[in-house]
Amino acid sequence: MNINISSSALGDTLAWIPYVEEYRRKNNISITLRCDYKELFVKAYPDILFADEVNDIDFDIGWFQNDLKGSVKRTQPLQKTASDILQLDYREIKPKINIPDTSRPFYQKYVCISTQSTAQAKYWNNKTGWDEVISFLKHNGYIVVAIDKHSVHGNQDAGFVNRIPKGVLDNTGNFSLSERIRFIKHADFFIGLGSGLSWLSWAVDTHVFLLSGFSKPFCEFSTNITRIHNDDVCNGCFNTAEHLFDRGDWAWCPEYKSTNRMFECTKSITGDFVIRKIENFLRNKHV
């Protein structure tokens, strides 16, 4: 049986690979799988044969523009894409990954954050939010470590240039995923967006604060997470059948582009709201 995960996105791969193993286990068959980031999975899934490419593909897992059911897939959890294609009953399954280095990067208490993404709609677009949260964390004795690939990212032609917040330990750069995992694994928690690093944090059992208005809360995982979302404003355009996400448009905002309501889904999420969520988590953690 040959299976291909067509997406090169880290989050998609982490979301879908558990169902390949579930299909193998349920049908008791040999599977050859092509996917990106296979170094994360080879030791974690020893009964799957990982290949750089596969021919005669039996199942191709992905979201395809010419798929007439594509709009339906966007209205359900991301993981259900894989269970539907493989004709499995859906239940949330956490991916297993190889963690090669378990050493703590430093002894002080710290949290990891990821502020960058691949479209402006995915960012936390509240102008003061990150600064307020980082000030709160530092006041409470945390080192705040930025672990994005880019310290500055965006699209200048579209009018958006995003810099990591001031006051953080800048650990951005072209580091390996193993190094990212090492930092995330020992963090008290992770704060990020609807991105691959949030899925990676979930995979290594680090609590995730996930800020997103671009996607609906049902889209991502539901365990070991504090989902920060405002349902009282326009939100969740990615998970509606009416809108097809345009990856080529950095400023994609299908309802309110170029108006004062543009990106209100996350502009409306205040730093104080996120801080209260963190405070609640810390209180419960220490009960």
Architecture of domain 110-285: 3-Layer(aba) Sandwich (3.40)
* The two structure tokens encoding residue 122: 């995915």
* The two structure tokens encoding residue 14: 């982490």
Q: What CA–CA distance (Å, rounded) separates 94 from 205?
A: 9
Looking at residue 139, its pLDDT comes to: 97
- 3-class DSSP state of 152: strand
* Of residues 187, 208, 204, the one with CA closest to residue 109: 187
Q: What CA–CA distance (Å, rounded) separates 79 from 82?
A: 6
Looking at residue 47, its pLDDT comes to: 97
Cβ atoms of 189 and 172 closer than 8 Å: no
Q: What CA–CA distance (Å, rounded) separates 231 from 228?
A: 10
Angle, vertex CA 198, rays to CA 195 and CA 200, nearest 5? 110
pLDDT in tens, 28-69: 999 999 999 999 999 999 999 999 999 999 999 987 654 544
Looking at residue 285, its pLDDT comes to: 77
**Domain boundaries of the chain, sorted by first residue:** 2-85, 110-285
- Catalytic, out of 12, 36, 131, 170: 12
Q: What CA–CA distance (Å, rounded) separates 74 from 254?
A: 15
Helix, strand, coil percentages, rounded to 5, for the chain: 30, 15, 55
* Residues contacting residue 134 through CB under 8 Å, at least 6 positions apart: 113, 144, 165, 166, 167, 168
pLDDT in tens, 146-195: 999 999 999 999 999 999 999 999 999 999 999 999 999 999 999 999 99
pLDDT in tens, 65-93: 545 444 567 789 999 999 999 999 999 99
Angle, vertex CA 167, rays to CA 162 and CA 173, nearest 5? 55
* Residues contacting residue 99 through CB under 8 Å, at least 6 positions apart: 181, 182, 185, 204
Looking at residue 242, its pLDDT comes to: 85
Per-residue pLDDT band for 144 (boundaries 50, 70, 90) equals: very high
Per-residue pLDDT band for 142 (boundaries 50, 70, 90) equals: very high
User: What's the rounded mean pLDDT across residues 127-133?
Assistant: 98
pLDDT at 287 over 60: no
Q: How far is CA 212 from CA 139, 229, 260, 268, 272, in A?
A: 25, 6, 19, 11, 16
pLDDT in tens, 193-236: 999 999 999 999 999 999 999 999 999 999 999 999 999 999 99
DSSP string, 52-115: S--SS-SEEES--TT-TTHHHHTTS-TTHHHHHHTT------PPP--------S-SS-EEEE--
DSSP string, 241-273: TT----TT-TT--TTTTTSTTTTHHHHTS-HHH
Full-model pTM: 0.95
Say whether 148 is catalytic.
no
Q: What CA–CA distance (Å, rounded) separates 72 from 240?
A: 8
Average pLDDT, the chain: 94
